[in-house]
Amino acid sequence: MVGALYVLIKAIAFVTAERRPAGQALAAYLTWPGVNPAPFTRTRNTGTGADATGVPATARRWVVRGALVMAAGLAGGAALAVAAPRLNRATVGWLGVAVILTTVHLGASDMLSGWRVRRYPVLRLFADPLASRSLRQFWSLRWNTAYVEMNRVVFAPFARRWFGRYANAALFALSGLLHEAAISVPVLAGFGGPTTYFLLHAAAVHAEPRIGLARWPRPLARLWTWCWVLAPLPLLFHTPFRDGLVAPLFTSWSTP
C-alpha cells in the first residue's frame, strides 16, 4: 500500500516536472528514494576534483562510510541469524530492527547519497541523526530527508490549508498513518501504536520552544531528543510487527 502510494507520487512528480532527467540521470533518479527529479536535471559544474565546498570529496566519504556501515549491518544480521536459536523472540525482534536500520537507513542510504559524486546535488538521506539537538531538527533536517522533501512539496500545502496552525500535528499524524500501513497492516495487529508514537512527537516538538530547548547544554538537548526517539519506540515497532515480520527474517535460517 505504502509502496504503491510512493510510486504514484514519484510518477506524478516526474510527469509534472518542468524539466525531467533522461539517460543516465533518469537511471540515477529511479534509484533515488526522493520524488523530486530536479537534482537529476542539473549537475554542479565543478571541473575536476572537489568543488569549493568539497562536495564530491564529502560524497565519496558518504559512500565509503555507507559501505562500511552496511557491511557491519549485514555481518550483524548474519551473526544474529546464527545466534537466534539461543535467544528469545523479543531479543531477536529488537536486534533485527537494529540490523535493518543500520544496514538500510544508515548504510545503503549513505551509498545512495553518493550520487553527489556524479555532481547531482542531492541531500544526504540520513544526516548524522545521532547529532540531533531537538526532535524538530531530527525530523526536519537529519532523518529521511527524501520524505521531508516529499512532505514539504506534496503534503504540507494541503495540511496548512486544511488544518491551519495545527498543520504540523497533522503531518505527524500522516506519518503515523503511513507507518501503520507499513508496520501494522502487514501483520493485521498493533494498530494505533505508530500513530501514537508520532502524535507524541508532535506534542514534544510543539513543547520544545516553550521549554527553551535551544538554550540547553548540548548533552542535555541530545538526551532529550534521544529519550523521545527511543523510549516510546515499542509503540512504533510493536510486538506483532517484531514477532511476525522481523524475527522470522533471522529465525527461518535455523528452522528445519
Range 169-197 average pLDDT: 96
Count of CB atoms situated within 10 Å of the CB of 45? 7
Q: Is the same domain home to 111 and 135?
A: no
Please report which confidence band the pLDDT of residue 252 belongs to, taking 50, 70 and 90 as the band edges.
confident
* Tens digits of residue pLDDT in 218-235: 999 999 999 999 999 999
> Quick check: 238 and 93 in contact, CB under 8 A?
no
In this prediction, residue 48 carries a pLDDT of 43
* Tens digits of residue pLDDT in 20-38: 888 888 888 888 888 888 8
Range 147-159 average pLDDT: 88
State the residue range of the domain holding 80: 54-123
Q: Is the same domain home to 110 and 163?
A: no
pTM score = 0.89
> Quick check: 234 and 194 in contact, CB under 8 A?
no
Number of domains in the chain: 3
Q: Percentage of the chain with pLDDT > 90?
A: 65
Residue 47 lies in a domain: no
Q: Is the same domain home to 65 and 161?
A: no
Please report which confidence band the pLDDT of residue 46 belongs to, taking 50, 70 and 90 as the band edges.
very low
Q: Is the same domain home to 70 and 17?
A: no
Answer whether residue 56 shows pLDDT above 80. no
In the block, cell 557491519 appears at: 72
* Tens digits of residue pLDDT in 84-142: 999 999 999 999 999 999 999 999 999 998 888 888 888 899 999 999 999 999 999 99
